[in-house]
Each structure stands twice: as C-alpha cells, then as structure tokens.
Amino acid sequence: MDVLMNDLSIEGQFPDFESFSNAIDQLMIMRSISRRYGREIYCHRNLLNAQITKDLNMQQLVQRFDNNKKLALLQWLTRQGPYWEDSREHASDDYLEYGDEIVTDTAIGEAASRCYKGNDSCVVSMIPSRWNSSPLQICWHHSDGDKQQVNVKNYFVAELFEEDLRSLSETVESWRQLEAVCRERFMEISFSIDAFDPLLGHPFLHSVAKQIIERLEVLKRLRLSFDILGNRTSEGHRLYQDYFTGKNAWFSGSSDNEKNDFKSELTFKHPGLVGESIFCPMHGKVKTTQTRIHFSWPIQCDSILYVVYIGPKITKT
C-alpha cells in the first residue's frame, strides 16, 4: 500500500506554533510507523511552502523547532522524500472531485488514481483539519461523461494507522490463517464456531481475504461507535452512510423474496444460545467472487455482534 501525505490538510488552519508543533509530532509518529512496516510516506516537494497559520508558512515555522526535530522534518521534505510527483499516475487534465472541491494535482487525487488502477493507496492527514474522516469518497469524471467513485482511506489517528499496516503485514496464505487473524483482531465481533467453514474447499484468493478483513473492520468500528447514552456517534452515522447506503454499498439486507425463498438457509445456529437459531439476512459483500458475510442486525451498543457465515453467496437463483 502506498501512503501519501495529504497536502490539503495543511491550509493555514493552525492558530499558533504550539498546535502546529503537536500536529507535526503526530505526523512524524505515523511516518515512523510506516517505515517500521517497510513503507515510506510520499510527500510533495512544495509542502515546505504550505501555509500553516494566517501569516506564516511551514518553512518559517520549522525554524522554531529544536535541531533534531527540524533536521528530521527538513531531511524528509527537502532531501529524502520520496515524492509522489516523481511517480505520478494521474494527469493534470483528469477531473477528480471530493464533494464540490477539485482534488486533481493533489495527493488525494493521486491516491484515488492509484486505487482506481489497482494499486492500493491511502493518505495521512494532519489534525486538526477538515480532512478528519475516512474513507474519502472521490468522484472521477471521465472524458466520456461516465463517473467512477473511488474510496481513499485517510488516516489521522496513529493507532488506527498502525493497526491496518500490521494487518497488511500479516502473512495470510489460507482460509484457516484468515480465520485465525480475524478472530484475534476483531475482538468486538463474536464469530460462530463454524463461521469460516464455508470458505474451505474453495481456492484461496488474497484479494478476497483482504476484502473480508476490510468489511469486518467496518463492522468492528460501527460496533464501537456509540456514546455513553447508547446513541450512535457521528462516526457511526458516517460509517452507516458510507457503507450501508447506495447502490455500491458494502453491506445490505437480502430482498423480501430472498428472505422468503431462502429462509432456512439464512437461519443459523445461535452462537450464544444453545438450541436457539438466529435469522441473519444482513450481509457484507465481496462482489468479485460473490462472497458474503452474514451477521446479526441491528448493531447496537448493548447487544453482541455475531458473524455467523463467511462464504459463497447463499441466495443464488
């Protein structure tokens, strides 16, 4: 996975030197994490000229850092790189948009282009900024009038960044290894004892395993997105909007006809209640191989999230 520094997350929003210094500390922590897992964070050569406060740019403020901090930052931005424009994949006349904002010629646009072409890429952003959500839904307007949505992962919390890099570094070469990784990583999810069994006997595909992990990560995050009163947080609402709505949603419920025609197949042994069953038409989708992840719904703060089936699509007609 290529990691790019989101240049748009530095736009003169810092009120003072201290807030900027703290943000740089977090950025350099993420750079250290990235290097620990064999990756570099790509930056842009002009980043040193970015506006930091209303009156000062980065080059001016960097001079106030202690020597070690100043040297580390300047070596990265002015000497070592790497610089994403040296291996740029999108053209200046490509039309990439985030909401109403054009992101052509930015790290976000470059990451979206790489993702679209099959090269998994993400961005890291400064905090605070207006770029503190993930994924970033980028709309690519093609010359023929067609539009393509590309989701770009955006990291601004070091712990989540490290967690994802760790999972990418884990060697998963079989469905059983995938099961072991998921059971260890997603402690917020209760997997039935045979949840992964439907995958056995089918050829192992790294791309499918990766997408299963990505969808379980969303379920985990949604399960954690409740406040002390049991209400879904703004992050939870965003996750629901991004992944559970729209024609390209990762998650959806079976149709009424499927619920009727496949009622037996969509009913599973209850993982937490001996002798009981649980009806789970809600599912996550991996469309390339028609793989499904069936789980309990709705996800609430005071109930266990069960995943009862991961395997080929059940409701085939």
What confidence score (pLDDT) does residue 247 get? 78
For residues 110 and 176, what is the distance between their CA atoms, to the nearest angstrom?
Answer: 35
Average pLDDT over residues 293-303: 95
For residues 229 and 203, what is the distance between their CA atoms, to the nearest angstrom?
Answer: 45
Q: DSSP label at 157?
A: -
Q: Which helix (H) or strand (E) covers residue 73, if one does?
A: helix 67-74
For residues 213 and 181, what is the distance between their CA atoms, to the nearest angstrom?
Answer: 9
| Distance set, CA 247 to CA 227, 251, 291 (Å) | 29, 10, 17
Cα 6 off chain centre by: 15
Phi, psi dihedrals of residue 251, rounded to the nearest 5°: -130, 145
Phi, psi dihedrals of residue 224, rounded to the nearest 5°: -90, -5
pTM: 0.57
Looking at per-residue confidence, does 141 or 119 come out higher?
141
Phi, psi dihedrals of residue 88, rounded to the nearest 5°: -60, 140
Q: Look at the alpha carbons of 105, 109, 115, 117 in this order and tell me if their dihedral is positive or negative.
A: negative
Segment 225-261, tens digit of pLDDT:
888 899 998 878 888 988 899 877 899 999 999 999 9
**Cβ-contact 140, 152 below 8 angstroms:** no
User: Which of the residue ranges 66-75, 95-104, 225-234, 264-273 would you say has the lowest mean pLDDT?
Assistant: 225-234
Contacts of 181 (CB under 8 A, 6+ apart): 167, 170, 172, 213
Contacts of 91 (CB under 8 A, 6+ apart): none
